[in-house]
Amino acid sequence: MPKMPESPKDFSHLIKQHPCFSGEAHFKYGRIHLPVSPDCNIQCRFCKRSFNKFENRPGVSRSLLTPKAAVEMVTKALAKCPEITVAGIAGPGDTLATDHALETFELIHQHYPQLMNCLSTNGLLLEEKAEHIIAAGVKTVTVTVNALDDNILQQICSHIVYHGQLFTGSYAARFLIAAQIAGIRKILSLGAIVKVNTVLIPGINEHHIKQIAEVISDLGVSILNIIPLIPQHEFKNYPAPDCQQLNIAREAAEKYLQVFRHCQHCRADACGIPGKGQDLAEGLYDVELTTFSHG
């Protein structure tokens, strides 16, 4: 019989060494983001994926890596930063839209079992891939949940693509919300620790954050990360939230669960100790920018 997964409480000690889950760890431990996921199965109106060296935001990387090249990148990164405790995949597309992220995690788990595998996803396919995620050695999962009200979410997400079917409008929003809730429940039941990321968009979901926090806390989510909007793509004319708006949302959410306050809008190929403000990725990528296709 297969070994039963550990319960979340058995993983709680790991959070103290995860710089994206713990404020203390943020300044002591490192992580490497591996850009192996080329595609996404939803379109958020604020999201614009790109390949470059200069933008410091999610959805951006210097190149795409194959799973094998990603393991080699981990080897190089550990030589530069032995404080790395986390191998994360957060783009530039969604980690579950293709199989490349899970293939990469399997390889890293084989070669570097001491590292925490951390997966970030929009949650559309989280429930159906939950067992595979755990089997690949993933212990921490971040799910981006920007609204739990379809009237709000359809203003943020223009469409989803589920197994080749394109959904838009209110139906797409309801479908994604249901998938996220079911996926969070499933992955928690298998022993993972879950963080939720929520992009704060003034005038759209800023007064909805408290409800998100209440619902995900009841599900068993450990921590919420409220991220200020970066005005771009269809939301390029929207204002980013100011400090007061961000603090109001965080204080409302903290009535229900812990709020992470150190997010730095990390790139999909970031490397190093985030709290030290130094990205070591520049020295790891010694190849020309490429949009390599996994096929």
Residue matched to tokens 């920007």 = 146
Is 7's pLDDT higher than 50? Answer: no
pTM of the predicted model over 0.85: yes
**In angstroms, rounded to a whole number, what is the distance separating the alpha carbons of residues 184 and 25?**
24
**In angstroms, rounded to a whole number, what is the distance separating the alpha carbons of residues 26 and 15?**
10
Which has more confidence, 14 or 37? 37
Task: Summarize pLDDT for 179-196 with one digit per residue, the tens.
Answer: 999 999 999 999 999 999
At 293 the pLDDT is 42
User: In whole angstroms, how far apart are CA 226 and each of 87, 109, 206?
Assistant: 22, 29, 10
Average pLDDT (8-31) is 66
**Sign, Cα dihedral of 8, 13, 15, 17:** negative
Task: Kindly state the tokens that stand for 57.
Answer: 């935001």
> Of all residues in the chain, what percent carry a pLDDT higher than 70?
83
Which has more confidence, 5 or 259? 259
At 268 the pLDDT is 77
206 phi and psi angles, rounded to 5 deg: -60, -30
Average pLDDT (172-178) is 98
At 29 the pLDDT is 81
Which has more confidence, 60 or 85? 85
Sheet with 165-168: strands ordered across: 42-44, 157-162, 165-168
**In angstroms, rounded to a whole number, what is the distance separating the alpha carbons of residues 218 and 107?**
34
Is 2's pLDDT higher than 60? Answer: no
Task: Summarize pLDDT for 56-70 with one digit per residue, the tens.
Answer: 656 667 789 999 999
At 9 the pLDDT is 46
At 62 the pLDDT is 76
Domain 8-275 annotated CATH 3.20.20.70: yes
Is 23's pLDDT higher than 50? Answer: yes
At 289 the pLDDT is 40
Task: Kindly state the tokens that stand for 108.
Answer: 């890293």
Task: Kindly state the tokens that stand for 236.
Answer: 């390029």
User: What is the average pLDDT value for the chain, to the nearest integer?
Assistant: 87
Task: Summarize pLDDT for 234-248 with one digit per residue, the tens.
Answer: 999 999 999 999 999
Strand partners, 144: 197
